[in-house]
Amino acid sequence: MFRRLGLVLPPLLTLLVVTVPATAASRPVVVAHRGASADAPENTLSALALASRFGADMVEVDVRETRDHALVLMHDTTLTRTTDAESVFPRRAPWRVADFTLAEIRRLDAGSWFGRAGRGQRVPTLREALRAMSGSGLGLLLEIKEPRLYPGIEARVAGELRRAPSWPAAGRLVVQSFDWGSMRRFARLMPSPAIGLLGTPSAADLPALAGFAGQVNPPYQDVTPEYVRLVHRHGMRVFAWAVDDPGDIQRMISGGVDGVITNRPAVARSVLQDDASRRAA
């Protein structure tokens, strides 16, 4: 639980993550992009905790690998945008995640760039994030970033997830990447999580991809009702990213998506509630 890690929060909302067939979603799942990243430093434990408070169903996190093969939450190839690596290690340009050990990365501040309230946040490991989320009711959408840079990362992610067996068993876990070949390899290593493919596959590609993937997750600008129906016909779900504007969120709902990936989960939850009220009236 987040409280065990020293994060002082109001009682967590009781959340329900429903696993439904691709063609029968009653409402889209709200996925907090890098946690509640509009209101907390992305990919930190505070962003995950805030996602829970804001009513997200799932959180999306980005995973990369350190020089000593630790799995850490970090979106960028380098540490410069979201940590103080340049000042702590001034001679280590270009500050690639893969060039630092976990012990070195633990020295970095991963929150001050976001504002004073984020000061002192650290880069969490995947294991720490899984432990923090345990019991929160949140599902997890785990993106493996640029797997070509970290040969064998699929096996190491699978191994970490096996050490947290409640995740694959609960049906609340999706592993995704822009690298569809990596996701095919991951599916062979660990068939229990759903596999997500980032991007917008062509109609011709969908039959083969449906053989190992359960989701197609395109940028929201590419989403049309016709494309959603096409993906659904192949038995896969559609999670659109990263959509923050209420009008765009409503368009995704009307278009039949199964999930909205957003930096503002509280806004998405409000739009969903308004939409449900209109349908019930």
Residue 108, domain member (yes or no): no
pTM above 0.85, yes or no: yes
Residue 118, domain member (yes or no): no
Token pair, residue 100, equals: 């630092």
pLDDT higher than threshold 80 for residue 177 = yes
Residue 132, domain member (yes or no): yes
From the number of C-beta atoms within 10 Å of its C-beta (0-12, 13-18, 19+), residue 28 rates as buried
Quick: pLDDT tens for 25-41.
468 999 999 999 999 99
Q: Residues 6 or more apart from 90 whose CB is under 8 A from it?
A: none
Residue 260, domain member (yes or no): yes
CA gap 196, 214 in Å, rounded? 6
pLDDT band at 79, cuts 50/70/90?
very high
Residue with tokens 């192949």: 234
Question: Active-site residue among 33, 69, 232, 234?
Answer: 33
Check if the beta carbon of residue 44 is closer than 8 Å to that of residue 35. Answer: yes
Token pair, residue 18, equals: 């429903």
Check if the beta carbon of residue 234 is closer than 8 Å to that of residue 197. Answer: no
The three-state secondary structure class of 7 is coil
Question: Active-site residue among 69, 75, 232, 234?
Answer: 75
The candidate with the shortest Cα–Cα distance to 45, out of 126, 101, 153, is 126
The candidate with the shortest Cα–Cα distance to 16, out of 139, 149, 195, is 139
What is the span of the domain harbouring residue 11?
A: 2-17+25-78+124-280
Look at residue 246 in the predicted model and tell me its pLDDT: 98
Residue 111, domain member (yes or no): no
Residue 163, domain member (yes or no): yes
Give the H or E element holding residue 207.
helix 206-209
If one counts the domains in the chain, the total is: 1
The candidate with the shortest Cα–Cα distance to 106, out of 134, 80, 87, 125, is 125
pLDDT band at 24, cuts 50/70/90?
very low
Q: Residues 6 or more apart from 79 whose CB is under 8 A from it?
A: 85, 95, 96, 97, 100, 105, 108
Average pLDDT, the chain: 90
Region of residue 41 (phi > 0: left; psi between -120 and 50: alpha; otherwise: beta): beta
Look at residue 101 in the predicted model and tell me its pLDDT: 98
Residue 36, domain member (yes or no): yes
Residue 134, domain member (yes or no): yes
75 is known as an active-site residue: yes
CA gap 16, 57 in Å, rounded? 7
We report the CATH number of the domain holding residue 177 as 3.20.20.190
Q: Distance of alpha carbon 257 from its chain centroid, rounded?
A: 17
